Amino acid sequence: MKKEIYISKGVGETRIAVKENGKLAELHVDKQSQVKTVGNIYKGIVENVIPGMQAAFVNIGQDVNAFLPFSEISDSELIVEKNNKTQNSKEVDVLLQPGQEIIVQVIKEPFDKKGARVTTDLSIAGRFIVLIPKSKYIGVSKKMRDKYERRRLKKIAMEIKQPGLGMILRTVAEGKTDSQIENDYKSLIKKYNDLLYKAEKNKAPKLVHNDLKVTSSVLRDLISEKVEKIIVDSKEDYKKIQKMIKEDALDIGDALEHYRKREPLFKESGINNSMMKLLRKKAWLKSGAYLIIERTEAMVVVDVNSGKFVGKKGHEENSLKINLEAAKEICAQLRLRHLSGLILIDFIDMVKPENRKKVFLEMKKELRKDRAKVAVSEISEFGILEMTRERTGLSIIDSLTDCCEVCNGNGRIISKDTLLTRIDYWLRDYKKQNKDLRLKLFLHPELSDYLKKEKTRDYIRLMWKNFIYLKVVNDDTMNKNQFRFTKMSDSKDITNEIGT
């Protein structure tokens, strides 16, 4: 697979794009205004312990307390399991009290009005290793398929492992030398000892380990000897990557390139156009079929539609062909858009169980390319596939857009006729309280034309019904779902003086 990385530094943000075989496969946006906290380790103070929620809230120095589920507390000194006979399940008692100090790590960013989600299971990611304190575990990434390489890496790990400091060998450790892996392990041990020292010497709440920024963490995960091209338009980032390549002794030849052209890198490489398509709900497939991707508070819903596809076979065979193509594109869109949580996919109905199985297996195969943790279930008899995807940061829509002040994030505004009804209600309330019945109504030009030309009779009826003289005025500054009233005799805005 041909893999290329493009890094563009702009005003206020750095964008990183990954192309696989010439097609955009990953996109990351590192905003200076958005502080990344996932991976950070804090010395916090327990604020509340709520057994009914099986969770505690921890002050880590942010605006909202962090959420610590009891299931994320692994320290045997802090938990006591007990059987709940009525519900045939296990509940956990914790030996936590308000005011108690505890070391936690952020595993999910704060979102909306919810605080960060934290755990006491600490892990520190390095270039080739993830260090797991208070653990005997030695593991190798499941994405590494070569059993001989897995065995070699595990042997190296067993030779360098120190008591109480477990580790997981990452996928990028494949092919690395004993000394490269050992140096990474020693570096992580130093970081762990440093955070313990900070935790001991400082009062809570306190940040004791700051994980890498988005740009650095993404590069740490992406740059390897398998990358054919790394194009960077910032001299600062170019030098940073040069240093990283040298420290890791990566053999990438002339892959690293400093881009100096006037044409913006993302525009020249065609990435900008692909990026803008990610803001749309509709994603087209080559066959003429398309996906509708809707994000709600609780889940992501993907609907597969046949669209312009004209098959030459029967319904079942055509449905299978579209669904297999859709499965591949859905997995790509999940990665690109950074969609997470519960995801429901409504495939085109197929009668044969073996065909549903084929689509499920295609999803599993494509999801292996995803660096986020995923879990996927088989397609139900209703054609629905359920899956979950780990939340690794903001979605691309949240990174590239702000909530619309006009529609408040709904994506729709009230209709012209609904707005006219609101104007009618306003006039009725105004007449009850006022005697000056000569008014100016300011509207967006499109609405003004609609009222005066297409709704002329309603315009006249509006004045007769309320015994008010109404002059409609074009106002380019108005939104299409707004109206503004003044008296004919003065320019003071009186709209909010009357409840609507």
CATH number of domain containing 342: 3.40.630
Q: Is residue 301 part of a domain?
A: yes
CATH number at residue 241: 3.30.420
pLDDT tens digit sequence for 87-107: 555 677 788 899 999 999 998
Instruction: Tell me the percentage of the chain whose pLDDT exceeds 70.
Output: 95
- One domain for residues 367 and 462: no
Any domain includes 114: yes
Residue 210 is predicted with a pLDDT of 87
The rounded percent of the chain whose pLDDT value lies above 90 is: 54
Same domain assignment for residues 271 and 347: no
> Does the residue 161 lie in any domain?
no
Q: Say whether both 32 and 54 belong to one domain.
A: no
270 and 331 assigned to the same domain = no
Average pLDDT over residues 265-283: 92
Q: How far is CA 165 from CA 17, 143, 304, 356, 455, in A?
A: 35, 23, 47, 44, 76
Give me 407's structure tokens: 């529609």
Q: Is the pLDDT of residue 331 over 90?
A: yes
Q: Both 2 and 64 in a single domain? A: no
Does some domain include residue 132?
A: no
SS (H, E, C) 135-153: CCCEEECCCCCCHHHHHHH
Domain boundary among 354, 370, 399: 399
Ranking 33-42, 130-139, 362-371 by mean pLDDT, the lowest is 33-42
Task: Band the pLDDT of 85: cuts 50, 70, 90.
Answer: very low
Cis peptide before 205 (omega within 30 of 0): yes
Is the same domain home to 316 and 266?
Answer: no
Same domain, 47 and 74: yes
Interval 360-399: pLDDT, tens: 999 999 998 898 889 999 999 888 999 999 887 778 888 8
> Is 388 found in the same domain as 294?
yes
Q: How confident is the model at residue 84 (pLDDT cuts 50, 70, 90)?
A: low
Averaged pLDDT, 432-437: 88
- Residues near 80 by beta carbon (within 8 Å), at least 6 away in sequence: 92, 93, 94, 95
Looking at the structure, do residues 267 and 285 belong to the same domain, yes or no?
Answer: no
The CATH number given to whatever domain includes residue 73 is 2.40.50.140
Last residue of a domain, one of 85, 119, 153: 119
**Nearest CA to 491 among 467, 473, 464, 468?**
473
Of the pLDDT bands very low, low, confident and very high (cuts 50, 70, 90), residue 283 is: very high
| 406 lies in some domain | no
- For the chain, give the mean pLDDT: 88
Residue 353: pLDDT above 70? yes
Q: Is residue 167 part of a domain?
A: no
pLDDT of residue 168: 95
pTM: 0.76
- Is there a single domain that holds both residue 24 and residue 55? no
Q: How far is CA 79 from CA 43, 69, 118, 119, 486, in A?
A: 19, 12, 16, 13, 66
| Residue 193 within any structural domain of the chain | no
Distance from C-alpha of 359 to C-alpha of 325, rounded to nearest angstrom = 9
- State the total domains in the chain: 4
**Where is pLDDT greater, at 250 or 479?**
479
Specify the higher pLDDT residue, 316 or 222: 316
Q: Which residue has the higher pLDDT, 492 or 404?
A: 492
CATH of residue 463: 3.40.1260.20
Domain encompassing residue 471 = 416-497
Spacing of C-alpha 458 from chain mean position: 47
217 and 285 both lie in a single domain: no
For 224-242, write each residue's pLDDT tens digit. Answer: 767 889 999 989 888 888 8
Task: Report the pLDDT averaged over residues 35-56.
Answer: 90
Task: Confirm whether 201 is domain-assigned.
Answer: no
